[in-house]
Amino acid sequence: EARAPGGPGADVVSDGPRPPLFSWEFATDPYPAYAWLREHAPVHRTRLPSGVEAWLVTRYEDARVALADQRLSKNAAHHDEPDHAKGRTGIPGERKAELMTHLLNIDPPDHTRLRRLVSKAFTPRRVARFAPRVQELTDELIDGFAGKGAADLIHEFAFPLPIYAICDLLGVPREDQDDFRDWAGMMIRHGGGPRGGVARSVKKMRRYLAELIHRKRAELPEVPAPDEDLLSGLIRASDHGEHLTENEAAAMAFILLFAGFETTVNLIGNGTLALLRHPAERERLAAAIAAGDDSLLDTGIEELLRYDGPVEVATWRFATEPLTVGGQSIAAGDPVLVVLAAADRDPERFRDPDVLDLTRRDNQHLGYGHGIHYCVGAPLARLEGRTAVETLLRRLPDLRLAVNPDDLRWRGGLIMRGLRTLPVEFAP
């Protein structure tokens, strides 16, 4: 198989000294550093830019085992320096106690209860019913720039699509959705700490969600309408007679918005970029779409997630007792970061891992995580990713990058991997 030219990781090497972590080069292309770690220090203790020391787990097998190991807790109370672990999902403002009790911060049995409730409401059926709306949103956004011959695909497409989609799914009235777009924009641009505008945005969103939940609860009909929104479904859901409290429902809405927002922006951004940098693969996909064959789209979206996925590092975990990961002893209280982006390029698991192969089979990537915290929104993410990629390739057949790939800027940050902008050109 020929190695595809260009693209992150195209020149991955693991010989020589370790490429620096957390540098500018690393933000642009972390894959050579991860290849080095997998080879030479697969479970590696490092000091993060925040000053906190944590273990990076980089091999596929170790990553899968660690993600499923319940001795690794999501609760920062287990951290020996709990203050440092604040904001550890990368969600600005999550320190606010009311929004803290969400799925990514808690362990069983609380996690089991909340997860069961959300699964009753956030069903594959509810997502499938939503497909025509995602297509409509996608087309409206493309209509907005198709006549211009140029666009920034992040700001004009990848960013608004998931925010409007989740707002619609949750049942945020259309007239309020632009407020959400502004709040989310503030958080994605200035993420990292609830300061100034970010703090105000989180506060406004929190207040808005609390009021919306209150109103929906008061107006909940006895018999659900066939197109009932997700928030009403969450309020309605019960497990052995137990419902979500209003605080839990607000925290759930918040995590659904945030877990489902920047991730999907990055799936569309990173995925489109990977296709633009691999013309042969992109042609192949465009030809399959034109021929009405969706199977390549199915395997292709999974491969885009594996190759350069939205979540670089899974959210924080903390050892509740001394344990070993990949033969390395880890002390109680130590933070453990599972590097999904490194695991998904492990040559022990994936043949030619640095090659983008949209037909790849047996592609059990960890892009959506693994174990009890496996992504609740995966069916929605797949729907949005598929619709976005399919529609872009179909409607803008000569889509091309408007800048040199080396000039693209990536957002820093530990958890997510995504572009700041993606300037493209096409025939108007």
Q: Which stretch binds ligand HEM (CB under 6 A): 32-40, 142-150, 258-266, 282-290?
A: 258-266
The nearest distance, CB 348 to ligand HEM, in angstroms, is 20
**Burial of 362 (C-beta count, 10 Å sphere; 0-12/13-18/19+):** exposed
Total of chain residues touching ligand HEM, rule CB under 6 A: 27
Q: Which stretch binds ligand HEM (CB under 6 A): 128-136, 233-241, 260-268, 289-297?
A: 260-268
Helix, strand and coil in the chain, % to nearest 5: 50, 10, 40
**Burial of 127 (C-beta count, 10 Å sphere; 0-12/13-18/19+):** buried
Q: Which of residues 303-322 bind ligand HEM (CB under 6 A)?
A: 309-311, 314-315
The nearest distance, CB 229 to ligand HEM, in angstroms, is 13
Q: Which stretch binds ligand HEM (CB under 6 A): 127-135, 194-202, 380-388, 391-399?
A: 380-388
Query: Amino acid identity, residue 202?
Result: V
**If binding is defined by CB under 6 A, does position 104 make contact with ligand HEM?**
yes
Query: What stretches of 278-420 show up as alpha helix (H) in DSSP?
Result: 279-290, 295-308, 340-343, 378-395
Q: What distance in Å separates the CA atoms of residue 12 and residue 356, rounded to the nearest whole number? A: 13
Which residue's CB atom is positioned nearest to ligand HEM?
A: 377
- Contact, 95 vs 87, CB < 8 A? yes
Identify which of residues 286 and 314 has a Cβ nearer to ligand HEM in the complex: 314
The nearest distance, CB 305 to ligand HEM, in angstroms, is 6
Bridge-based pairing of strands 72-73 and 323-325 is unpaired
Helix (H) or strand (E) holding 44: strand 43-47
Q: What distance in Å separates the CA atoms of residue 411 and residue 92, rounded to the nearest whole number? A: 15
Single out the residue of 19, 87, 377, 418 in contact with ligand HEM (rule: CB under 6 A): 377
Q: What distance in Å separates the CA atoms of residue 106 and residue 99, rounded to the nearest whole number? A: 12
The nearest distance, CB 372 to ligand HEM, in angstroms, is 6
Single out the residue of 117, 381, 388, 396 in contact with ligand HEM (rule: CB under 6 A): 381
Binding residues vs ligand HEM (CB under 6 A): 67, 103-104, 115, 166, 255-256, 259-260, 263-264, 267, 309-311, 314-315, 367-369, 373, 375-377, 380-381, 385
